Structure 1
Amino acid sequence: MLMNKKILIVDDDPRNIFALKLTLKARGYTVESCTMAQEALETLKSGSQSYIVLMDMMMPGIDGYEAVRMIRNTSEIKHIPVIAVTAQAMPEDRQKCLEAGADDYVSKPIDVDLLIMAIEKIS
């Protein structure tokens, strides 16, 4: 389990954030959240915490694909693990997320066991 890392949930739907926070906190994780990609980038750049990012890929404005590319192209945060979280569940969607720079992919509705395995695999 992650003792020194926080999970940053980036999702424009507060209901998704609420459900994920409850689930992850119940399993002992420390969780923060943002509703916009730009806010997430600023949080990550602050450098005060070590994060794993759960990135919703379908958001207004800067979508998750662009946000992941921005993370990967920013030297001080490019090492941060990102798990793509999306309702798009076709095989080509997984590949698109990985090509954008995500370390792993979990489809919605989220299977919590698969999410925890993905988090532990990249931490």
Structure 2
Amino acid sequence: MPKVLLVDDSGVTRKFHSYVLKSAGFEVVEAVEGAEALDLLFLHADFDCVIADLNMPGMDGITLIRKIRESEAFEDLPIIVITTLDKPEDKRRGIEAGADFYLVKPVDPKLLIDSTELAIGE
């Protein structure tokens, strides 16, 4: 079962995305913000994908992505951004930081599943 680290400060969004992913056969571990996500990532190191919002308190998604990419152990870990920021410059910043996919909320559940499967290579 592929393991996904889901990072979003919105409890409602996090629970919905978690439900969608779990119903599609993914194991999901949730984090509320970037620092917590990094702790989980470095502690367990067995995630197949990270899905992160950009707007979060404390460490935002761009900083999280950059910190993940700084680690040689996670340089190839698939990262999907799911955010409300939909301007071209926002998308550019996310991809330049190291995200593999950039999705805009609200995300269709099938697109979330398909993007996660594609990112992981299933």
TM-score (norm 2): 0.90
Q: After TM superposition, where is structure 1 displaced by more than 3 Å over at least 4 residues in a row?
A: none
Partner of 2:110: 113
Q: Which runs of 5+ in 2 are unaligned?
A: none
Q: Is the 8 A contact 1:10 1:33 kept in 2?
A: yes
SS at match of 2:85: coil
Partner of 1:40: 37
SS at match of 1:85: strand
Aligned with residue 76 of structure 1, among 52, 73, 89? 73
Q: Is the 8 A contact 1:52 1:81 kept in 2?
A: yes
TM-score (norm 1): 0.89
Question: Within 5 A, what are the aligned runs for 1:53-72?
Answer: 53-72=50-69
- Cα drift, residue 29 of structure 1: 1.2
Percentage identity across paired residues of the two chains: 36
The whole-number CA distance in structure 2 between the counterparts of 1:116 and 1:68 is: 20
Equivalent residue letter for 2:11:
P
Q: Is the 8 A contact 2:82 2:104 kept in 1?
A: yes
Equivalent residue letter for 2:89:
E
How far does the alpha carbon of each residue in 1:12-66 deviate from its partner, in whole angstroms, 9 at most, with x for none?
1111111111111111111110002111111111245233111110011110001
Q: Is the 8 A contact 1:65 1:100 kept in 2?
A: yes
Equivalent residue letter for 1:39:
E
Q: Is the 8 A contact 1:44 1:77 kept in 2?
A: no
- RMSD of equivalent CA atoms: 1.3
